[in-house]
Amino acid sequence: MSFFSAYFLWRDSLAASAIAAALCGYLGVFVVLRRIAFVSAALSQISGLGVALAFYVGSFWGIDPHGPSTPFYAAPEVYALVLSCAASIALGLPARARRVNPESVVALAYLFAAASVVLVLRSPRIIQEAHEVSELIFGNAVAVRESHLVHLTIAAAIIGALHFFLFKDFLFASFDGEAARGVGYPVAFLDATLYLSLAVAAAVATRAIGTLPVFAFFVLPAGAALLWSQRLSIVVATSVAIAVAAAVLGYYLSFVYRLPTGPTMAALCGLAWLPGLRLARRRS
């Protein structure tokens, strides 16, 4: 069966990959500007932990989280959303409130989530689904349910509308938080809202396409775009374009050549840095 004749198989998956890429590629500009790349990694990993926990908890209740009638309290996207939002609030607190170094908090969140995912996947309670859950967490967007696509679309629309109205405020607070605070901007509110945007995007995107591609879309396209241009409007557009192109081409290559989907998408995002590095050298 050729790729295009299998349209009914990959339609929802490709759409979910493209929407997740566009959303994370846009938010990634703020991630790179604020130098919080590993915050996005921690949120993606914590979202993956939420997905794994849903399967683990569901095993006690005899609930299949993949089932069409999964109750609200056992849905993996709910676990991912709650954990990632709680983590975003903790990571977004000022350093004085946390009383520890911000980098240490991010490292703690990432390492704890990564270790917990491994422990949950090793549990005999979900051993029959461990491989499937592992692929889901680390990136295998071959089969995405229509419900996941709907949730992702709704989240992208809400985040897009929010950033449409607050884009300049987010930008000012990202470039110079002290100056923004000095002229009366609600920097704490803007920071919390931005972090929650990242958390929601990480949760719904991770549930749909996996942790690895989500982290790649958050960081690599925006970094490459900043090498291509210094104009912010071009950087945002380029970051989204790179992410979507990597998602679509990565899915196609993984489908045709039977490659792992998430790593293929992430690798293509990384390749976008090569022409950017050449342009940066010419300018210098």
Q: In this model, does residue 270 exceed pLDDT 90?
A: yes
The per-residue pLDDT for 137 is 61
pLDDT band at residue 66 under the 50/70/90 scheme: low
Q: What is the per-residue DSSP string for the chain?
A: --TGGGHHHHHHHHHHHHHHHHHHHHHHHHHHHTT-HHHHHHHHHHHHHHHHHHHHHHHHHT--TTSTT--GGG-HHHHHHHHHHHHHHHHHS-HHHHTS-HHHHHHHHHHHHHHHHHHHHT-GGGTTTHHHHHHHHH---SS--HHHHHHHHHHHHHHHHHHHHHHHHHHHHHH-HHHHHHTT--HHHHHHHHHHHHHHHHHHHHHHH-HHHHHHHHHHHHHHHHHH-S-HHHHHHHHHHHHHHHHHHHHHHHHHHT--HHHHHHHHHHHTHHHHHHHHHHH-
Tell me: domain 4-283, CATH 1.10.3470.10, correct? yes
Most confident of 113-117, 158-162, 191-195, 207-211: 158-162
Average pLDDT, rounded, for the chain: 86
Query: How much is the pTM?
Result: 0.89
* Tens digit of each residue's pLDDT (9 = 90 or more) over 235-267: 999 999 999 999 999 999 998 898 888 889 999
Higher pLDDT, 1 or 75: 75
Most confident of 204-218, 240-254, 269-283: 240-254
pLDDT band at residue 131 under the 50/70/90 scheme: low
The per-residue pLDDT for 225 is 95
* Tens digit of each residue's pLDDT (9 = 90 or more) over 160-186: 999 999 999 999 998 888 898 888 899
